[in-house]
Amino acid sequence: MSSRTLPLLFINLGGEMLYILDQRLRAQNIPADKAKKVMNDIITTMFNKKFLEELFKPQELYSKKALRTVFDRLAHASIMRLNQASMDKLYDLMTMAFKYQVLLCLRPKDILLVSFNHMDAIKDFVKDTPSILSLVDETYRQLIEMYTSLSHGEFQLIRQTLLIFFQDMHIRVSIFLKDKVQNSNGRFVLPTSGPVPHGTQVPGLIRMFSCTGEEVTRLQFNNGGNYTAGLREGSFEMFGDRVTKLGTNMYSVSRPVETHMSGTSKSSAQHTKQVNTAPNPLAKEELNLLAKLMGGLEVQKTGNADSGFRVNLFATDEEEEEALITRPDELSYGVINIQATKDHQANAELAKIMGEFTESGHQSPSASSKGDDLLAMMDGL
Amino acid sequence: MYHKEKSIQIKNSASALYNNLSVLRIAPRRLTYFTVVHANVVNMVSASWDGLNYSHRQLQSKEPNVATSTSLIMQAAFCVLPSRELLVITSQKGIQMYESDGSIMVYWHALDTPETPSAQAVFARGISAVWENYICVGVSSGSILVFDVPSKGSNITLSEVLEEHKESITDIASECSGSQQCIADLVSADDGGNLCVWKSGEEFQLLNKIPGFDMSCSSVKLWKGTVVAGYGTGQIRLYEAVTGILHAEVNAHARWIYSLDIAPFSGLLLSAAEDSLVRVWHLTVSQETNSVEVAHLHNECVTDTQICGARFCDGDGYAFAVTGYDLSEIIRYTQT
């Protein structure tokens, strides 16, 4: 549908990912310098110039599986490691959060404001590092250039495209359940109260006119809800009050996040999306261009083996293991977790681009030793 | 005024698309067909009037070749012509026309899709039967394709391309198909809220253009010479088709309107929006005194659901059906 959806999907999901990782890094008491490095590395990778160039090209949305691959790699762009169960949970949380934001937006154009809320928070994460800050600013500029001139109808098309992507996802998120924005069947609460969107009138008035344009009759009707007048419009500039709270950070150390896998409603289990291509029995990674680019962007690690660490999205290791075993089949993303995949030889042209990413003079230590041909790697699975 | 009936379960949930429900009543066989779009599939249900028999069928979007990515469907609608009934499905790749039971595809028209995706999306959306033998389909470029449909067989041809809209077509509607004479028998709407009023024929004639105010018109109907249009702001406006005179303006919904329908014999109007509400109104159009009246009759709230399709199941508006995003059922209501 809309060929301008992918940048918004990526940036908003990325933003949610950073909120969650930030919360988990604090909750696990990871030393501040390591935590900062992880956040900086991920943000640097997210807003890499070449990557963004590819991202902003007009294109159809990726499948859930393909996009998951990109985020798998993004999450591993630094010294942090996640087990499959944690990565699954992270992705569930990210997607349900953005689905919630897209659904609850008062009007389609507000999705851009939600994106700016994420961007504002990301900017705050890296405010002490000018080099990364400039990458973030550049991304703002690209967003403004691409989206601020779009019509309301075009934004609705983007929203409809996103809603197809999120169709039938009803994973229950603890924070949403507690705040009563999600029902126990996994569906979000859509209130029939609150402010109407900017540009909309509170429903209830019928006006009838004569042929000369004079108002002849006014009638009121019961709108069945409890609406109030619209708020002012949020800012679509680099700085400003976005007005909407959607897209701001809802996590904190005291509000941990859990998802519920068991008891996902019967309907969501039965009516799984049928959009995809022929079933892939070997569950190979879909190596789309974005994922390949992401794979080559791994930021240089220090040689010290101790610097790496694992983050757990669950309260204990046992819970994490349990989650992996009990994850319902229909919720599997079908992605093989190939960590630290390097595709240096997948594509001659890409290899050239890759060369521009690795620090000058510093070939990543495993590049030559692995030098795995993509196909060979697949065959070895 | 209305009460909820037993819902019809469908195989997939409805996608968030404008006018995402089409209904065809087949009186001789005491059946009603319903179609609901889910991504690249159309779910068709045939429901017997006694409520005992339901049969399901799924139609896929046609791919020019297997290697290309799945084409998403924008709309599916039944087109009723005097001689025959067809099911028209519009997608990112083109337009498919089937016999009304979905059994055989009788026609395929491919859209010009560029090699590499362009910033402007390509798709077909907006479907209506017009007069005795035409089916009109809108395109994302703003063009309207007019197909000439013979009374039987698959010799359907593209008769004309109407280039008046500059923005993507959202919906097309007609009245007076084959029965009475009307001055205007077709209205088309686009993403900018602009409306074009036409007279069908060997060469379609543009009778009037009603400007939008940069607010998308997602659903439009034509009845007794009156255009009824639903907008993204939640407003419904009634215009006299040929002159463009604004007869009435209703602050109808708190969110984007997704679907409008009119029961032609009773003048009942159905509106449905993202705000979870379906509203029933009564229209009185007096063409002699040139006056239009709108009265609000009834509300139904489909809790926690963004509605994407609402249609009367019969010409009197005795019953109506509703679909919602992520909902795998067709909800039905009947007059008490």
Share of chain B above pLDDT 90, in %: 85
**pLDDT for the residue numbered B178:** 57
Count of domains for chain A: 1
- Considering CB atoms only, which of B167, B256, B294 is closest to A206? B294
Sheet holding B268-273, edge to edge: B257-263, B268-273, B277-286, B291-301
Sheet strand arrangement including B85-91: B73-80, B85-91, B94-99, B105-110
Residue A192: strand, helix, or coil: coil
CA distance A364 to B162: 59
Compare all CA atoms of chain B with the CA of A158 and give the residue at the minimum distance.
Answer: B121
| Residue A50 resides in a domain | yes
B92 touching A (Cβ < 8 Å): yes
Rounded to 5 degrees, what angle do the CA atoms A8, A9, A11 make?
65
Going by pLDDT thresholds of 50, 70 and 90, the confidence category of residue B116 is: confident
Integer Cα distance of B41 and B93 in angstroms: 14
Cα-trace Rg, chain B: 18
What tokens does A47 get?
Answer: 């807003």
The class of domain B2-62+70-112+120-335 in CATH terms is: mainly beta
Say if residue A378 is exposed, middle or buried (CB neighbours under 10 Å; 0-12, 13-18, 19+).
middle
Q: What is the mean pLDDT of chain B?
A: 93
Please tell me the distance in Å from B7's CA to the nearest CA on chain A: 14
Q: Measured between CB atoms, which of B13, B235, B293 is closest to A208?
A: B293
The model's confidence at residue B180, banded by pLDDT at 50, 70 and 90, is low
Identify whether A204 is part of a domain: no
Domain range annotation of chain B: 2-62+70-112+120-335
Q: Give CA B180 to chain center in angstroms.
A: 21
Q: How far is B84 from chain A (nearest CA, A)?
A: 31
A348 within domain boundaries: yes
Mean pLDDT, residues B205-233 taken together: 95
The model's confidence at residue B120, banded by pLDDT at 50, 70 and 90, is confident
Report the pLDDT value the prediction gives residue A360, as an integer from 0 to 100: 35
Contact B250 A207 (CB under 8 A): yes
Tell me the whole-structure pTM to 2 decimals. 0.87
pLDDT reading at B94 higher than 90: yes
- What is the CA A238 to chain-centroid distance, rounded? 20
Collect all residues of chain B within an 8 Å Cβ-Cβ radius of residue A196: 234, 254-255
Task: Tally the residues of chain A.
Answer: 381
CB contact under 8 A, A203 and B38: no
pLDDT, residue B209, reads 97
Residue A289: inside a domain: yes
3-state helix, strand, coil split of chain A in percent (to 5) is 45, 10, 45
CB B94 within 8 A of CB B77: no
**How would you class A226 by CB atoms within 10 Å of its CB: exposed for 0-12, middle for 13-18, buried for 19 or more?**
exposed
pLDDT digits (tens, 9 = 90+) for A40-80: 999 999 999 999 999 999 988 888 888 998 999 898 888 88
User: Which of A4, A157, A205 lies nearest to residue B251, judging by beta carbons?
Assistant: A205
Identify the pLDDT of residue A272.
37
Of B245, B303, B325, the CB nearest to A211: B245
Q: Band of the pLDDT at B145, cuts 50, 70, 90?
A: very high
Question: What is the three-class DSSP state of A162?
Answer: helix
Q: Which residues of B touch A183 (CB under 8 A)?
A: 304
Residue A186 domain flag: yes
Lowest mean pLDDT of A263-277, B204-218, B312-326, name the range: A263-277
Go through chain B and tell me how many residues it has.
336
Cβ pair B206, B196 in contact under 8 A:
yes
Which residue would you say has higher pLDDT here, A342 or B37? B37
How is residue A115 written in tokens?
Answer: 């994106």
Give the chain A residue nearest B74 (alpha carbons): A1
ipTM for this model:
0.95
Q: Looking at beta carbons, which residues of chain A come within 8 Å of B17?
A: 160
Residue A310's pLDDT is: 82
| Alpha carbon distance A177, B327 (integer Å) | 20
Relative orientation angle of helices A84-104 and A64-75, to the nearest 10 degrees: 120
pLDDT in tens, A268-320: 333 334 333 333 332 334 456 677 777 666 554 444 445 678 888 887 788 88
Full residue range of the structural domain in which residue A188 is found = 6-192+243-377
DSSP 8-state secondary structure symbol assigned to residue A158: H
Please give the C-alpha separations between residue B1 and each of A138, A220, B45, B51, B321, in angstroms, as whole numbers: 57, 19, 26, 21, 15
| Neighboring chain A residues of B250 at a CB cutoff of 8 Å | 205-207
Whether the pLDDT of residue B19 is over 90: the answer is yes
DSSP A229: P
- Interface contact B39-A153, CB threshold 8 A: no
**Chain B 113-132, residues with CB within 8 Å of chain A CB atoms:** 116-121, 123
What pLDDT was estimated at residue A253? 55
In a domain, A220, yes or no: no
pLDDT classification of B112: cutoffs 50, 70, 90: confident
Whether residue A218 lies inside any domain: the answer is no
A151 vs B191: CB contact, 8 Å cut-off?
Answer: yes
Q: Answer whether residue B27 shows pLDDT above 80.
A: yes
**Region B20-32 average pLDDT:** 95
Q: Which B residues 245-304 touch A at CB under 8 Å?
A: 245-256, 275-277, 290, 292-296, 299, 301, 303-304
Closest Cα partner for B156 from B181, B188, B129? B129
For an interface test with B, give the residue of A155, A161, A177, A275 to mutate (most B CBs within 10 A).
A275
- Among B212, B136, B217, B231, smallest CA distance to B174 is for B136
Instruction: Give B81 to chain A, closest Cα distance, Å.
Output: 30
pLDDT at B217 over 70: yes
pLDDT in the model for residue B69: 59
Residue B264 is given by DSSP the state T
Is pLDDT at B110 greater than 60 in this prediction? yes
B181 touches chain A (CB under 8 A): no
Burial of B192 (0-12, 13-18, 19+ CB in 10 A): buried
Between chains, do A204 and B251 touch, taking CB under 8 Å as contact? yes
Which of A4, A187, A273 lies at the smallest CB-CB distance from B304? A187
pLDDT value of position B235: 97
Provide the shortest C-alpha distance from residue A269 to chain B (in Å): 11
Q: pLDDT in tens for each of the 381 residues of chain A?
A: 899 999 999 999 999 999 999 998 888 888 999 899 999 999 999 999 999 999 999 988 888 888 998 999 898 888 888 988 889 999 999 999 999 999 999 999 999 999 999 999 999 999 999 999 999 999 999 999 999 999 999 999 999 999 999 999 999 998 899 999 999 999 999 999 999 999 999 999 999 999 888 999 999 999 999 999 999 999 999 999 999 999 999 886 566 666 554 334 333 333 334 333 333 332 334 456 677 777 666 554 444 445 678 888 887 788 888 888 887 766 666 544 333 334 333 344 443 444 444 333 333 333 332 333 332 333 333
Angstroms from A163 CA to nearest CA on chain B? 7
Interface probe for B, chosen from A64, A176, A205, A211 (most Cβ of B below 10 Å), is A211
